[in-house]
Every structure is written in C-alpha cells, then in structure tokens.
Amino acid sequence: MTRRLLASIHDVSPLFETQVDMLFARLCRLLGSPRMAMLVVPDFEDKAPLAHSPAYARKLRGWADAGVEMFLHGWCHRDDARKRGFMQKHMTAGAGEFAQLSRDEAVRRLTEGRKIVEDAIGRPVTGFIAPAWLYSRESLDALRDTGFALAEDHLKVWQPTTGRIVAHSPVITWASRTPGRVRSSLMVAAAARAAPWALRNARIAVHPGDTTVPALLDSIDATYGKFVRTHTPARYADLLN
C-alpha cells in the first residue's frame, strides 16, 4: 500500500513573504525536494493584493515551475459574517471566510481569485481550500459549479465536480495564537508521530505564524522527519490516479 505525505504551506501572500520563504526552505530540507503545496490568498485581509505584486507573482511562478502545487485559498481569508457559528468563534481567529458565504458571493470570489493566482503562476491551480477548512453549503455548491478539480476540509480531500472522496485523513497542523493552542497542537502532533502508519495519506500543514514559536518549529521538524520515513512526499494531484 502506497503511503503519501502531502505537505502544504498555508496563507501564502506577499504579506508573509519572509515567513513563507522560511517555511519553504525548511520543508525542502525535510522533504528532500519542493514536492509540496502552497495555498495562495489573492489579497490577505485587503492588505496585500497579489495582482499588484509582480515580484511576488514571479516568485510564485518560479516555485510552480519547480514543482510546487498551487491552490487558491479564499479571497481575503477574513470572515466578515455578522453572526458566527461555534467553529468560527472558537476554532479560528476570524479566518472562516467561506463559512457563511452565499452561492453568488462564493462564485465571485472563487472566479476572481482563481484568475489572479493562475495569471501569476501561468498554469491552472490544483484546487481550492477554504480558509480554516470551513465551507457553507452554498459555497460547496459554488465550488462544484466553478469546476475546481480538488478541495479539502479537516477530514478529507474530494473532487467538487463529482463529490468523490479521494482521501480520508485528518490534517496535522499547529496553532500559534495562544499558549493553550500551542500546547494542544504540540500534543496532537506528538500523538500522530506515535503511529504514522495509521494514516495512508498524511496531510501536514504549516502556517506563517508557526515561525514565531520555536517549540512549533521543533515539532514541525520532528513530525515531518518521522513521516518522511514511512510516507512518500507526493502531490495532491496524485490522489486522482
């Protein structure tokens, strides 16, 4: 049985250029190659429009040319809903952008965001992943209708156009917002390292904020280091084969 390691860097934006550069170099060292995904935000919190950053667009295209998969990751990453559900209130820092969007608004952001990212990288995106992995029912309909090849949430990867699930596994990730979240994410990562064979497709995601906490960087090193022994670094597109 083939065991795949799907590595990803979230919140890729000119706003976090230094942190993303650090994570890219770190994952290349741990994986032995740039076989990873980057989740690109077209205009993070309306502060960093990719369309106005030609130098960063060239950097993204260079990474894509080197083999990095590129995903659209929302439009602005910010949740503007007036009333937020439990997950939006307690599990994200206002990042559930697609958690309550209407279909029309989701279509608009998906369509415009994909054009900006694809213009930058010079090729189609691999798929779409919502900020905080949260989707409204209407945004799932929009995702299907706009024809993205792949999407993921906390527990699975699927084909939006058909609904076919191509991987079942929880995402291993870290949180840096509070000491409590740091401790809990360290515990979860340690538990995953204890039984790497339990995940056929291991999805391990890092964020720019992880670079600010040395304990998280140590855990990232240990987790990727453990999984790379039992899993082969792979592309999300490999799940379609």
- Domains, the chain, in order of start with CATH, read 4-168+231-240 (3.20.20.370)
Residue 219 token pair = 């855990």
Give 15's DSSP letter: G
Interatomic CA distance for residues 17 and 21, integer angstroms: 6
How many helices and strands, by DSSP H and E, does the chain display? 7, 10
What ranges in the chain are assigned the alpha helix state H?
17-31, 54-65, 86-90, 103-121, 137-145, 179-194, 214-230
* 205 closest CA partner among 236, 160, 183: 236
pLDDT computed for residue 106 by the predictor: 98
Three-state secondary-structure class, residue 92: coil
pLDDT computed for residue 84 by the predictor: 46
* 56 closest CA partner among 18, 30, 27: 18
Task: Please check whether residue 9 is in contact with residue 39, taking contact to mean a CB–CB distance below 8 angstroms.
Answer: yes
Pairing of strands 156-158, 165-168: antiparallel
Compute, in degrees rounded to 10, the torsion defined by CA atoms 192, 196, 200, 206. 50
* 220 closest CA partner among 177, 163, 175, 180: 175
pLDDT computed for residue 91 by the predictor: 52
pLDDT computed for residue 79 by the predictor: 84
Residue 159 token pair = 């084909």
How many other C-beta atoms lie within 10 A of the C-beta of residue 204? Answer: 24
Q: Is 163 left (phi over 0), alpha (psi -120 to 50) or beta?
A: left
pLDDT computed for residue 190 by the predictor: 98
pLDDT computed for residue 241 by the predictor: 84
Divide the 241 residues of the chain into consecutive groups of 10 and give the mean pLDDT of each group.
Answer: 95 98 98 98 97 98 98 93 50 76 97 98 98 97 97 98 96 94 97 96 98 98 98 97 84
Interatomic CA distance for residues 165 and 132, integer angstroms: 19
